[in-house]
Chains A and B, each alone.
Chain A
Amino acid sequence: MACIDRASPALKQILLKLYRDSSSLIYSAEKSIEIDHHLYEFGSVEYHIQSQASNPLVAYLSLSIPPLCHGTLPNTLSSYTIEKIKGICPNLVEIEEPAREGFQLTLKLNLDHIPRNKDYVKVIEDISTIQSVILSSQLKEILWNVNSDDAVQGMYKPIKVVYHPREPFFVIRQPQKIIAIFPIRFKENSDVIIATAFFQELVDVGNSDKWIKTPPCSWSAIPPPELRGEAFEDLNTNGGFVSFEISSRHVEGNRLDKTVWNLLNFNANVRYHVKSTKGFIHRRMRKRLENLVQVLHQTNSEENEQTKQVKKHQGCRYTKKLVKSSKHTMKQRWRTLGRKIKRIPFRLKIHGFTRFRQRWLRFPKFSSTKYTKLE
C-alpha cells in the first residue's frame, strides 16, 4: 500500500525515468524534452517535479506538506528538519532558497552525480523518502521540545498530531515514557467489528512473552484518562482507543525512525487490514457458494441419471415385448393362412395333388434365434 511505504512510489518512478532519459541523452544525439509533473499523495502532500530542456541533467523537486501539529510547529521547516534532508544524499541534493511559490521546500537534484552502477535505484529510493524524513523529524521535534510549562501535576498536555485530516492521534509525554493514543472511527458498523477483533488480537500478541520488546499496547472503548479535557469531536469515536507506550529502548538509534513511521501509519495499516479482510471474506463466501451449488447440481444429476436408467430399462422391456409379441402374431398369422389355403376347395381334382400340396405347399418356419453362417 502506497501510503505505508516510506518511499513514494510515484515519485520514485518519475525520478527513475528522468535519470534513464538523462543517461540516454549523454550517449545519443536525441533532443531533450521538458518535464513538469504535479503529484498529490496521502497525507495532503504535493510534489512538483520539473526538468528543463536546456539543462536535462538538473531536476527541481518542490514539496508542500502540512505541519504535523498545528500551533506547536511553524509552517516552515525547522533547521533540524533541513539538516535531516541534507543528510539524504549530500552530493546530489541541494536546497534551493527561496522555495518555489506555494511550496515549503525546493530541492535541486544533480542527476549526473547519481552513480552509474546498480546503486542508482537505492539512491533514487532514498530521495523518494523525503516525505517520511520530514514527518519523522517533525514528530521527533514534537516529542523532544515539549514545554515544561505544559506539565500539570507531572502530567504533560496531550499533543494532537494530524497526519490525515480526519484521523488525528494524540501523543502524551510522561517522565519515563511516551504514550500514543489513536481514536478509531469507521463509517460502517461491520468495519468497527472487524477492527475491534483485530485490536483484541494485537493486545493479546503484544502482551505475550515472546513480544515483550515491542511497545505494550491496549484498547479501550472509552477515552483513557490521559485524554480528559480534550475536545468532544476528537473523543467521539465508534472504534474505541488504541494506546501504545513508547519507552526509551524503542527510540534508540535506528529504531526511532521505524517507531515514528509505524505510529504515523497505524491508522492506515488498520484500514488496509479491514479492507483486505472484507475481500477475503467475500472470496471465501463465493467459493463456498460454488461448493453448495455443486452439491445441489450433483444431487440433481444423480437423480437425472437414475431416471434415465429407469426409462432406458423400461424402453428395453418395451421393445422386447414388442419383438416377442410381433413374433408370436406373425407365427399365428402364418398358421391361419396355411390352414385357409389348405381348406380352399379345388374344383379340379388331381390325383396325388393333395399329397403334393400337403408336403410342398407349406410355409417355412423361420427361427430368429438360429442362423446359418454363409461361407
Chain B
Amino acid sequence: MGSTLRLYLTCIRNTLHAAMCLQNFPCQEVERHNKPEVELKSSPELLLNPVVICRNEAEKCLIETSINSLRISLKVKQADELENILTKKFLRFLSMRAEAFQVLRRKPVQGYDISFLITNYHCEEMQKQKLIDFIVQFMEDIDKEISELKMSVNTRGRLVATEFLKQFI
C-alpha cells in the first residue's frame, strides 16, 4: 500500500516538475489584461494536454498546464460514508480559507475534491521545487488527517457509549 502511494506521489512530482514551466503571458484578447490561460481556455495554442494520474478508481490527480498557469485537481480516497463527510467538510473548510494558502482554488474542479491554481507570479515569488514539495506534502497530510479524524470520531463514540452504558450498572 505504501509503495503504491510512493509511486503515485513520485509520478505526480515528476509531472509537476515538467509542467511547471510558466512565464508571463498577457491576455491575447483583452489589452493590458493578464489572466491565467488554464482557467479561460480560450486559446488552444496556449494550452498543453491535460494529464490524469490515477492511483486507483477512487484516487486521481488531474494536471492541466498552460503557458502562464497550472491547475492541479485532486480526488481523495473515501472508503466509507464517514470518510466521505469528513473529507468534504475538511476540504471545504480549507477551500473557504484559500487566501491563506495563496495557491489554493476556492472551488474545486468538477469531479474532484480540491484544486490548486499556480501562476507565473507564484513561481516568481516562490521556488518551484518548494512549491512542488508543498503540494506533494499536502496530499500526504490530507490522507493522514482524514484517517486520524475518522479514528478520533470512532474513539469518541466508543468512550461516550461506555459512559452511557455505565449508567445502567
User: Is residue B85 contacting chain A, with contact meaning CB distance below 8 A?
Assistant: yes
Whole-angstrom distance between the Cβ of A81 and the nearest chain B Cβ = 23
The reply on B153 being an interface residue by CB < 8 A is yes
Contact A189 B165 (CB under 8 A): no
Q: Which residues of A contact B81 (CB under 8 A)?
A: 193, 196
Q: Is the CB of A255 within 8 A of B152?
A: no
Contact B126 A299 (CB under 8 A): yes
Q: For residue B138, which residues in chain A have a CB less than 8 angstroms away from its CB?
A: 292
Task: For chain B, residues 119 to 156, give those with C-beta under 8 angstroms from any C-beta of chain A.
Answer: 125-127, 130, 133-134, 137-138, 141, 145, 149, 152-154, 156
Contacts across chains A and B counted by CB atoms under 8 Å: 104
CB-contact partner of B162 in A205, A269, A282, A289, under 8 A: A205
Considering only residues 15-32 of chain B, those with a C-beta below 8 Å from chain A are none
Interface residues of A in 252-310 (CB under 8 A from B): 255, 258-259, 262, 266, 269, 273, 277, 280-282, 284-286, 288-289, 292-293, 295-296, 299-300, 302-303
B163 nearest CB across to chain A (Å): 9
Within the assembled complex, what's the spacing in Å between the Cα atoms of A262 and B154? Answer: 22
Q: Which residue in chain A gives the minimum CB-CB distance to B85?
A: A190
A201 to B169, CA, bound (A): 18
A258 touches B168 (CB 8 A): yes
Find the B residue at minimum CB distance from A195: B157
In the complex, A302→B93 CA distance in Å?
A: 27
Does A299 contact B130, Cβ atoms closer than 8 Å? Answer: yes
- A282 to B90 CA separation, bound complex (whole angstroms): 8
Is A262 within 8 A of B157, CB to CB? Answer: no
Q: Is A142's beta carbon under 8 Å from chain B?
A: no
- B5-13, B53-61, B97-105: which lies at the A interface? B97-105
Q: Give A299 to B168 CA distance when docked, in angstroms.
A: 54
Q: Do residues B134 and A295 form an inter-chain contact, with CB atoms below 8 A?
A: yes
A194-213 toward B: CB 8 Å interface, digit per residue (1/0)? 10111011101110000101
State whether A205 and B158 are in contact (beta carbons under 8 Å apart), knowing that A197-B153, A281-B86 are contacts in the complex: yes
State how many angstroms separate the Cβ of B106 from the closest Cβ of chain A.
Answer: 15
Q: Are B94 and A262 in contact, with the CB atoms below 8 A?
A: no
Q: Counting CB contacts under 8 A, is A215 at the interface?
A: yes
A269 touches B100 (CB 8 A): no
B160 contact set on A, CB distance < 8 A:
198, 201, 269, 273
Counting CB contacts under 8 A, is A214 at the interface?
yes
Contact between chains at A206 and B82 (CB < 8 Å): no
Q: Does B161 contact A (CB under 8 A)?
A: yes
B residues near A202, Cβ cutoff 8 Å: 157, 161, 164-165
| A198–B157 CB distance below 8 A | yes
User: Are A296 and B102 CB-contacts (below 8 A) given A201-B158, A273-B157?
Assistant: yes
Asked if B41 is an interface residue, CB under 8 A from chain A, the answer is no
| Residues of chain A contacted by B130 (CB below 8 angstroms) | 299, 302-303
The answer to whether A214 and B101 have CB atoms under 8 Å apart is no
Q: A219-261 vs B: 1/0 string, CB under 8 Å?
A: 0000000000000000000000000000000100001001100
CB–CB A206/B165 < 8 A:
yes
Give the distance to chain B from A149, nearest Cβ to Cβ, in Å.
31
B89 touching A213 by the CB < 8 A rule?
no
The closest CB in chain A to the CB of B101 belongs to A296
In the complex, chain B residues whose CB is within 8 Å of the CB of A214: 165, 168-169
Shortest B118–chain A CB gap in Å is 13
Asked if residues A197 and B154 are in contact (CB atoms below 8 Å), the reply is: yes
5 further contact pairs, Cβ within 8 A, besides A293-B101, A296-B102: A214-B169, A277-B157, A288-B145, A292-B138, A303-B127
Q: Which 9 residue pairs across A and B have the least CB separation, nearest first?
A: A201-B157, A202-B161, A198-B157, A214-B165, A201-B158, A205-B161, A190-B85, A214-B168, A293-B100
CB<8 Å pairs between A and B, sample of 24: A193-B81, A197-B82, A197-B157, A200-B157, A201-B157, A201-B158, A202-B164, A205-B162, A213-B169, A214-B168, A259-B168, A262-B168, A273-B157, A273-B160, A277-B156, A280-B156, A284-B149, A284-B152, A288-B141, A289-B100, A296-B134, A300-B126, A303-B127, A303-B130
Q: Interface on A for B, CB 8 Å cutoff? A: 189-190, 193-194, 196-198, 200-202, 204-206, 211, 213-215, 250, 255, 258-259, 262, 266, 269, 273, 277, 280-282, 284-286, 288-289, 292-293, 295-296, 299-300, 302-303
